Amino acid sequence: MRRTPSRRRTTATSMAALTAGALILAGCSSSSGGGTTSSSATSDGPCGTKAATTLTVGLFGTFGFKENGLWDAYKKVCPNITVQEDVVEQSADYWTRLKTRLASGTGLDDVQAIEIGFVADVVQNHANQFVNWNSVPNAAADKAEFFPWKWGQASNAEGSVTVGLGTDIGPEAICYRKDLLAAAGLPSDPATLATKWSTWEDFIAFGKQYEASATKPKDSRFVDSAASIFSTAVYQGTEAYADASGKTDVANSDGVKSAWGYATQAAAAKVTAGLQQFSPPWNKAFSSGSFATIACPTWMMGYIQGQAGPTYAGKWAIAPVLPGGATNWGGSWLGVPKAAKNQAAAVALVQWLSAKDQQVTMWTSAKQGGHFPSNSHAAADSSVASATSAYFDNAPVGTLFGAIAGKMKVPPIGLYDTQIQNALTTQLTNVETKGTAPDKAFADALAAIKQVTG
């Protein structure tokens, strides 16, 4: 019997990855940097240890700590600590890897980032594997600094266990192409738009005017996608994808119901460009002008600058309004696994990173913007409020997003928010581009969600 040669490497590898299961993967993934110290003593000073130590920090995408010089700054505070980043590009891949490591209890970094998409899972299933921020030194002082809802999202229902300290939050406004609205003969100054876009009905009606314009660019649509409207409006409900106890609930959610209504209205009115968010065609459209507006959490500012490039500086602007009321999209936390080799030093680093001064730096830095502070003391700082963005036509982003952050309504989050939102927005793309009936699309989305929830 001759062995058949392995033909498709990708297939073979992924098959192996799946069939090998968690144990094998865990065995291969240990890459923690070596420390030289124990972490039990509490008298080791503000850095958690006095010995020369390398801390590994597990992150996904671009957190901006390195880009904004925070690691260098920490070297000055704690000369004995060296920080080493362990970055995975996609947060979904990062989460799979983190789960594998948590299941096996090995290979965990000293600090692990936790995203809003899986923080509920960490709280529900892995809280006992992370340092509880309610029982570290200075716990009460830490807690007092954060927006209460941000602290709550990383805590259990009783509030006794908290798995991470917040990094950024994503208060939302509307980013728009000033030049395209002007070309369509419509108002394009932020103050006027704020009055015209206070509800989703108004926003869609304004979109119809844009579409009716004879002078706008021919291939340009008003808003990038129905998903843009949906993903924002769903978090304006009292419930998004989970009830107050954190149990998945899509069919009875007021947020899903109204958001689906607005998104399908926008699709029916043909004011959407029908692009799948975060797909290559969507990325290209930031500079091609295929759409004039987009729902814009603070981190989207960085995304737009990256995709559209310096040529479009001053053409993009931000309206100080979110149709339907202020809410949040995204955000992360930093947690310390109990299995971390250098626990005390890791706790000290996370506390330093989440403190007011560092969060102010993250927001005001010119290099890597868009990280709005989750630390409410930082958010209230005058240098945060006075921040403006030259790229977005000198928008007063500090006061603009600060005002929204101050009055945000944030519904409970659940275990499968990411997958559920993905199933619903995928079906919205079908409504937009293939004319699928909204009811049929919703039924299809529920079927796909059933595959996730079981």
Residues lying near another protein in the complex (CB under 8 A): 1-2, 4-5, 7-12, 14-16, 18-24, 92, 96, 99-100, 102-103, 121, 125-126, 276, 279-281, 419, 426-427, 429-430, 433-434, 444, 447-448, 451-452, 454
The closest of 66, 59, 123, 65 to 91, measured between CA atoms, is 59
The closest of 228, 212, 215 to 267, measured between CA atoms, is 228
The CB-of-145 to another protein minimum distance in angstroms stands at 30
Compare residues 164 and 402 and give the one whose CB is closer to another protein.
Answer: 164
Compare residues 89 and 201 and give the one whose CB is closer to another protein.
Answer: 89
Amino acid at 64: G
The CB-of-281 to another protein minimum distance in angstroms stands at 8
Kindly list the distances between the CA atom of residue 92 and the CA atoms of 41, 73, 78, 99, 207, in Å, as whole numbers in the listed order.
Answer: 36, 30, 33, 11, 34
Compare residues 100 and 236 and give the one whose CB is closer to another protein.
Answer: 100
Which residues, in sequence order, are CB contacts of 440 under 8 Å at separation 6+? Answer: none
The CB-of-22 to another protein minimum distance in angstroms stands at 6
- Residues facing residue 395 across a β-bridge: 389
CB 126 within 8 A of CB 156: no
Helix (H, G, I), strand (E, B) or coil at 57: strand
The CB-of-419 to another protein minimum distance in angstroms stands at 6
The closest of 380, 371, 369 to 406, measured between CA atoms, is 380
Which residues, in sequence order, are CB contacts of 202 under 8 Å at separation 6+? Answer: 196, 323
The CB-of-453 to another protein minimum distance in angstroms stands at 9
Compare residues 138 and 279 and give the one whose CB is closer to another protein.
Answer: 279
The CB-of-423 to another protein minimum distance in angstroms stands at 9
The CB-of-431 to another protein minimum distance in angstroms stands at 10
Compare residues 238 and 279 and give the one whose CB is closer to another protein.
Answer: 279
Compare residues 24 and 87 and give the one whose CB is closer to another protein.
Answer: 24
Compare residues 20 and 191 and give the one whose CB is closer to another protein.
Answer: 20
The closest of 370, 211, 234 to 306, measured between CA atoms, is 370
CA distance 413 to 404: 20
Amino acid at 414: G
Compare residues 46 and 435 and give the one whose CB is closer to another protein.
Answer: 435
Give buried/exposed letters for 385-416 (b at 16+ CB in 10 A, else e).
bebebebbbebbbbebbbbbbeebebbbbbbb
The CB-of-263 to another protein minimum distance in angstroms stands at 15
Residue 331 has, within 13 A of its CA and on its CB side, a CA count of 30
Token pair for residue 127?
């809280």
